[in-house]
Amino acid sequence: MYGNASSPFASRTQRASMYSKVGLETDIHGASPHRLITLLFDGLFEAMNQARSAIQARNIELKNRAITRSVRILDEGLKAGLNLEAGPLAEDLNDLYAYICMRLTRANLHNDAKAIEECQRILTPVREAWSAISPNVDASRAA
């Protein structure tokens, strides 16, 4: 009863987490497809950073949850959103995401923070390229 986030006795952290979650849900519901992919990249990098920190702190449970979240974002979000009939770029991204999933799974098995860093280095240009087209996507929708 007292630990419930909706309770007036909830901790400040619990209430902040609840408002943050509502803000994210609002952002998702009103988001363009381009914005949704941006949110997936943000969540992916946040989860990979959390996994690296957990490995350094020797927190196996948190590392496992963070890497599992990363793989799910890749598989169920980024890969699932690809239109493989669109051409070779989509196929290349599909293969890249599959490789990253494999590297993250191995990183989870071997507590390998360097493998997670490799995944971040590989995905950073993809994330930056996606962000760079944002103004063009939004402008074309307005027209």
* CA-CA-CA-CA dihedral for 48, 41, 21, 80, to nearest 10: -110
Q: What would the two tokens of residue 142 be?
A: 């307005």
- Give the start-to-end residue ranges of the domains of the chain: 1-30, 33-131
Q: Look at the block and give the residue holding tokens 């307005």.
A: 142
Q: What would the two tokens of residue 132 be?
A: 């760079």
pTM of full prediction above 0.75: yes
| pLDDT digit string (tens) for the chain, length 143 residues | 444 555 555 555 554 544 445 444 556 667 788 899 999 999 999 999 999 999 999 999 999 999 999 999 999 999 999 999 999 999 999 999 999 999 999 999 999 999 999 999 999 999 999 999 976 655 555 44
Residue 30 three-state SS: coil
What is the CATH number assigned to the segment(s) 33-131?
1.20.120.340
Alpha carbon distances (Å) from 58 to 43, 53, 64, 112, 113: 22, 8, 11, 11, 11
